[in-house]
Amino acid sequence: MLGDRKVLIIGAGLAGVETAYLLAEAGVKVILCESKKLKRNEAQKLDTVAELVCSNSLKSLKEESAHGLLKKEMEDFGSLMMRVGLETQVPAGDALAVDRVLFSQKIEEIIKSHPLIELKELEVEKPLDLMKVEGADFLVLSTGPMSGKSITDFICQELWDQEKGQDAFFFYDAIAPIVDAETLNYERLYYKDRHQEKEGGDYLNVPFTREEYDHFVEDILAAKKVHSHDFEEEKFFESCLPIDVMAKRGHHTLRYSCMKPIGLFPVNWTEKPYAVLQLRKENLLGSAFNLVGFQTRLTYPEQKRIFQKMPGFENAEFITYGSVHRNFFVNAPLVLRSDLAAQKNDSIYLAGQITGVEGYTESAAMGIYVGLQILRRLQKKESLTLPPETAMGALINYLMTMERAAPSNCHWGIFPQLPNAPRGRKKRKEKKQMLFDRAREAFIKFREEVGV
Ligand X SMILES: Cc1cc2nc3c(=O)[nH]c(=O)nc-3n(C[C@H](O)[C@H](O)[C@H](O)COP(=O)(O)OP(=O)(O)OC[C@H]3O[C@@H](n4cnc5c(N)ncnc54)[C@H](O)[C@@H]3O)c2cc1C
What distance in Å separates the CA atoms of residue 175 and residue 126, rounded to the nearest whole number? 30
Single out the residue of 173, 202, 282, 389 in contact with ligand X (rule: CB under 6 A): 173
Single out the residue of 6, 7, 16, 312 in contact with ligand X (rule: CB under 6 A): 16
Interaction between residue 36 and ligand X (CB under 6 A): yes
**Which of positions 55-114 make contact with ligand X (CB under 6 A)?**
55
Interaction between residue 312 and ligand X (CB under 6 A): no
Closer by beta carbon to ligand X, 12 or else 435: 12
Instruction: Enumerate the H helices of 300-427 as residue ranges.
Output: 300-307, 332-335, 360-378, 391-400
Single out the residue of 22, 69, 82, 124 in contact with ligand X (rule: CB under 6 A): 124
Closer by beta carbon to ligand X, 325 or else 411: 325
**Selected range binding ligand X among 27-35, 74-82, 222-230, 435-443, rule: CB under 6 A:** 27-35
Which residue's CB atom is positioned nearest to ligand X? 13
Partners of 343 in the β-ladder: none
Interaction between residue 143 and ligand X (CB under 6 A): yes
What distance in Å separates the CA atoms of residue 431 and residue 375, rounded to the nearest whole number? 35
Closer by beta carbon to ligand X, 291 or else 375: 291
What distance in Å separates the CA atoms of residue 425 and residue 29, rounded to the nearest whole number? 51
Interaction between residue 43 and ligand X (CB under 6 A): yes
Single out the residue of 9, 23, 175, 184 in contact with ligand X (rule: CB under 6 A): 175
CB 326 to ligand X: min, Å? 8
What distance in Å separates the CA atoms of residue 267 and residue 271, rounded to the nearest whole number? 10
What distance in Å separates the CA atoms of residue 378 and residue 7, rounded to the nearest whole number? 10
Interaction between residue 226 and ligand X (CB under 6 A): no
What distance in Å separates the CA atoms of residue 272 and residue 279, rounded to the nearest whole number? 18
- Give the interface size with ligand X as a residue count (CB under 6 A): 33
Single out the residue of 111, 117, 139, 146 in contact with ligand X (rule: CB under 6 A): 146
**Selected range binding ligand X among 10-18, 178-186, 212-220, 432-440, rule: CB under 6 A:** 10-18
Interaction between residue 22 and ligand X (CB under 6 A): no
Q: Is 32 helix (H, G, I), strand (E, B) or coil?
A: strand
**Residue 197 CB neighbour total at 10 angstroms:** 7
Q: Which of 403, 414, 412, 385 is nearest to 332 (CA)?
A: 403
What distance in Å separates the CA atoms of residue 188 and residue 186, rounded to the nearest whole number? 5
**Selected range binding ligand X among 139-147, 186-194, 222-230, 411-419, rule: CB under 6 A:** 139-147
The single-letter code of the amino acid at 401 is: T
What distance in Å separates the CA atoms of residue 48 and residue 301, rounded to the nearest whole number? 30
CB 39 to ligand X: min, Å? 8
Single out the residue of 8, 24, 34, 283 in contact with ligand X (rule: CB under 6 A): 34
Backbone angle region of 200, left / alpha / beta, with phi > 0 → left and psi within -120 to 50 → alpha? left
Q: Is 400 helix (H, G, I), strand (E, B) or coil?
A: helix
C-alpha distances out from residue 81 to 35, 101, 287, 329, Å: 20, 13, 24, 22
What distance in Å separates the CA atoms of residue 207 and residue 95, rounded to the nearest whole number? 22
Interaction between residue 406 and ligand X (CB under 6 A): no
DSSP 146: T
Single out the residue of 7, 8, 9, 10 in contact with ligand X (rule: CB under 6 A): 10
Interaction between residue 371 and ligand X (CB under 6 A): no
Write out the residues near ligand X by the rule CB under 6 A.
10-16, 33-36, 43, 53-55, 123-124, 142-148, 151, 173, 175, 325, 352-353, 359-360, 363
